[in-house]
């Protein structure tokens, strides 16, 4: 993986889970080669966000997820943000994401 100095551009995203227990896919956002997507649970969340590579993996009542507490983040190397699914333990809560390239 190469790293760019003085990145020329950033892209951001936000996504909320309308109903807890109903995972949602992040919107499409192409991630250039050498860049990563950082996904952060919103600071104002009161519950946790569960993340997975599929709807089933991210389901907050399942066992295949990665959990984020408010303001925690994870960086993933994917080619598109839509490869990430999230669920929330509290309806209406969500994540923010950023890519620099």
pLDDT in tens, 7-40: 679 999 999 999 999 999 999 999 999 999 999 9
Residue 60's domain is classified under what CATH number? 2.60.120
In a domain, 81, yes or no: yes
Whole domain around residue 56: which residue ranges? 14-100
pLDDT of amino acid 7: 64
pTM, entire model: 0.91
In a domain, 3, yes or no: no
In a domain, 41, yes or no: yes
pLDDT of amino acid 72: 98
93 φ, ψ (degrees, to nearest 5): -90, 165
pLDDT tens digits for range 66-85 = 999 999 999 999 999 999 99
The total domain count for the chain is: 1
In a domain, 9, yes or no: no
- Cα distance between residue 19 and residue 29, in whole Å: 23
In a domain, 1, yes or no: no
What CA dihedral angle connects 31, 33, 87 and 91, to 10 degrees? Answer: -30
In a domain, 27, yes or no: yes
In a domain, 89, yes or no: yes
């Amino acid at each position: 993986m190469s790293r760019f100095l003085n990145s020329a551009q950033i892209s951001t995203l936000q996504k909320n889970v309308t109903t807890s227990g109903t995972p949602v896919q992040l919107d499409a956002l192409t991630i250039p080669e050498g860049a990563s997507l950082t996904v952060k649970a919103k600071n104002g969340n009161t519950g946790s966000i569960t993340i997975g590579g599929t709807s089933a993996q991210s389901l907050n009542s399942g066992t295949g997820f990665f959990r984020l507490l408010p303001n925690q983040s994870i960086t993933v190397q994917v080619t598109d943000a839509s490869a990430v699914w999230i669920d929330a333990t509290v309806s209406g809560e969500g994540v923010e994401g950023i890519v620099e390239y």
